[in-house]
Amino acid sequence: MNKYQLPSDSKLLQSDFVFGVATSSYQIEGGVAEGGRTPSIWDTFCKTPNKVDNGDNGDVACDHYHLWQQDIEMIQGLGVDAYRLSIAWPRIMPQDGVVNPEGLAFYEEIIDECHARGMKVYVTLYHWDLPQYLEDKGGWLNRETSYKFAEYARAVSAHFGNKIDVYTTLNEPFVSAFLGYRWGNHAPGIKGEREGFLASHHLMLAHGLAMPILRSNAPHSKHGVVFNASPAYPATSKDQGAADYSEAENYHWFMDPVLKGEYPQLVVERQLVNMPMILEGDLDIISAPVDYVGINYYSRDVMRYNENGDIEKVIQEGAEHTFIGWEVYPQGLTDLLVRLNERYDNIPPIYITENGAACDDHSVVNGQLNDEQRVRYFQSHLNAVDQAIKAGVRVDGYFAWSLMDNFEWAFGYCQRFGMVHVDYQTQQRTLKQSAITYRNTLLARAEENK
């Protein structure tokens, strides 16, 4: 496949639809002790035995800290409209209340280079790398961290202002709160039901506190927040309640406070004993208007009640799965977008801020890597977005995850999501077939829109 086959009437071919690629700071940068950066919770977590596959860490990762210029050139070569990156909080504020000029300068060079090459910049302020000094004071279990995030947002937006085209407060608060503080799979590795819900409220409060600051400092930029979402389907006709609850806990819990000013009753009732302390006015803060919502989609969930009445996920035997074990289900992306459009009367424009697949594509042969499954994955999911738009959902852009292979959190380096292969020994980058196909699609679109 030379390029993705989109129908001639595809909304994705219009010139104002944004195509991009995405990365995050801890996953690609390395340079963890350079430029004034201090440790994050992921630096600490990676040093804890048996937490990350193979004992991997992000100390070097893709060495983007030193190779960013060639990486930005590579991104431009893909023909994208925008680059979505995240800023490392401990690079900007290495100590409580201290702003690091060297950290700001590092990102400023990247942003300026993107603009010089005609690409817009979408910046995420928090992609899970909380400064360790804040975790030492309780992290997201401490309400004060929400206010520290607002200070950090002020430092970044006061410096960059409108130079950052699109600001994102949080990436996937579900993962930060539940994998980090409820189930312990991610940094900081805390396990507790009450802790998970408390962290989730403080994350959403942080988002709300930052919004007016960002708007004040960057009035011409767009501001919003990114959620991961997996639509849920019942395993049998008797399991609709299990599917409904799965959606309520996994993403309505995070989206409803922003778009409806309340937490979903399904979760409140089931988790009453675990509910966080919500102070008067918190939900007014969290529900500050947003210019867009980002959606990260990878797969669906099929849910059922087990013999004990507990809700559990059902693995779809016989279905296609990626190397990481996630079912390939593009229809889920269409369904998700339509459901969100129906649930929220006031939903702003949506960006698909992450979508991609981890495939078993570790070896470059003769300078080439044919990641056939990923090519098919992108093809089917781009069509799924197009179908949602034709069904009446406003989707303004699509960002492939990820630009290149990187540190995949608790999976270390064994899972590869990249459109570009990275040899971690030599830091050699090689475009996979999926990147070439993506590039050819965007070049053809640009030609048609001349």
Q: DSSP per residue over 63-96, as a string?
A: -HHHHHHHHHHHHHHTT-SEEEEE--HHHH-SBT
**Binding-site residues from annotation:** 27, 127, 171, 298, 401, 408-409
User: Whole-structure pTM over 0.95, yes or no?
Assistant: yes
Catalytic-labelled residue, pool 113, 172, 195, 247: 172
CB neighbour list of residue 253: distance below 8 Å, 6 or more residues apart: 174, 200, 263, 264, 267
Give the single-character DSSP code of 38: -
- Distance of CA 94 to CAs 64, 86, 90, 317, 346, Å? 19, 16, 5, 47, 38
Query: What pLDDT does 92 receive?
Result: 98
Alpha-carbon Rg for the chain, nearest whole angstrom, is 21
Sheet holding 301-305, edge to edge: 232-234, 301-305, 311-313
- Contact (CB, 8 A) for 144 and 137: yes
Residue with tokens 């919500």: 278
At residue 100, the 3 state secondary structure works out as coil
**29 tagged catalytic:** no
pLDDT for residue 255: 98
What residues in the chain have per-residue pLDDT under 50? none
Q: What is the DSSP letter of 127?
A: S
Listed in sequence order, the residues at least 6 apart from 420 whose beta carbon sits closer than 8 Å to its beta carbon are: 74, 403, 404, 405, 429, 430, 431, 432, 435
Instruction: Look up tokens 């910049």; give the residue.
Output: 121
Give pLDDT, residue 260: 98
Domains and CATH numbers, the chain: 11-448 (3.20.20.80)
State pLDDT tens for residues 340-382.
Answer: 999 999 999 999 999 999 999 988 999 999 999 999 999 999 9
DSSP per-residue string spanning 268-308? HHHTGGGPPP--TTHHHHHT---SEEEEE----EEEEE-TT
Helices and strands in the chain: count of H runs, count of E runs: 17, 13
Q: What length does the chain have?
A: 450
Catalytic site includes residue 247 = no
pLDDT of residue 450: 85
* pLDDT at residue 269 in the model: 97
The pLDDT assigned to 362 comes to 86
Which residue in 29, 195, 247, 354 is the catalytic one?
Answer: 354
Q: Quick check: 381 and 330 in contact, CB under 8 A?
A: yes
Annotated binding-site members for substrate: 27, 127, 171, 298, 401, 408-409
